[in-house]
Amino acid sequence: MSERTIAFIGGGNMARSLIGGLIADGHPAAALRVAEPDSGRREELIADFGVQGFAENATATRGADAVIFAVKPVMMAAVSRDLAAQIREQGSLCISIAAGVRAADLASWLGDEVAIVRAMPNTPALVQTGATALYANEVANAEQRDVAETTLRTAGMVVWLPDEQSMDVVTALSGSGPAYFFLTMEAMQAAGESLGLSEQTARLLTLETALGAARMALESSEDPASLRRRVTSPGGTTAAAIAELEAGDLAALYQRAISAGARRAAELGDDLGDQ
């Protein structure tokens, strides 16, 4: 893995996160390439990480073992078609982190014989605490799947999906999920301020509580429901607050929200596939 040449198409935040993670994991910078048309961003990546930077996609991908597509979803069709012949000739693994772009559509643009892994990371990958779901087409072999997993794991945890349909749910759950927690933090902070806390105090208490709760859940063998019950004493302050949340049917609200996100992910996949 450490000697494989990996080319990134696009040098934005997610590519930067993966490059940093790969280098921290011991991957040689000389074996990493980035195609980025913005000269300022390209030079910054070269200076910060020592990678090879190019303005042209084809130059960056020439001879690459794996090509990571880190461009906007609306650009994927054009970029894939431009590189299709070169990728087929080289036998490169293609990893897409473009949200909503399905593996079947990638194969129609790149070629049915191309090994493709579709990834759905989320924004905490920018601080190496991401959650990424992967799906591989039938062409990708075990070694190529390992390359994809090892690469994405440098930005956080990774899970494999048995079918691509699940990717729409993943998009709504973990892909969009950070925004749900940010909204909850926003509401908690605002409530604290309305009851007399300073902005700084309400913010700090909210954020540290969110971090602590997540860490407890990750490190515990118990599920979140059990952890919640443990800190909810009958007749106590937590019970009073939880009763209000349950009266508003919070669980049903999240069910509707994530279902709506999954439906929208499927719609966007249809639209992108029509390009």
Domain locations along the chain: 6-164, 175-266
**Residue 130 per-residue DSSP state:** E
Tell which wins on pLDDT, 28 or 2: 28
Closest CA to 101 of 129, 131, 122, 71: 71
Chain center to CA of 183: 19
Contact 44, 69 (CB under 8 A): no
Q: What is the mean pLDDT of residues 26-52?
A: 96
pTM: 0.90
Residue 273: what pLDDT?
77
Over residues 53-82, the pLDDT tens digits come to 999 999 999 999 999 999 999 999 999 999
CATH of 6-164, one of 3.30.565.60, 3.30.420.40, 3.40.50.1360, 3.40.50.720: 3.40.50.720
Residue 274: what pLDDT?
73
The CATH class given to the 175-266 domain equals mainly alpha
pLDDT band for 102, please (50, 70, 90 cuts). very high
Q: Terminus-to-terminus CA distance in the chain, angstroms?
A: 34
Helices (H), the chain: 13-24, 39-49, 57-61, 76-90, 103-110, 142-153, 166-170, 177-194, 199-219, 224-230, 237-247, 250-273
Q: How many residues does the chain have?
A: 275
Closest CA to 135 of 1, 275, 269, 271: 269
Reading the block at residue 270, the tokens are: 């249809």
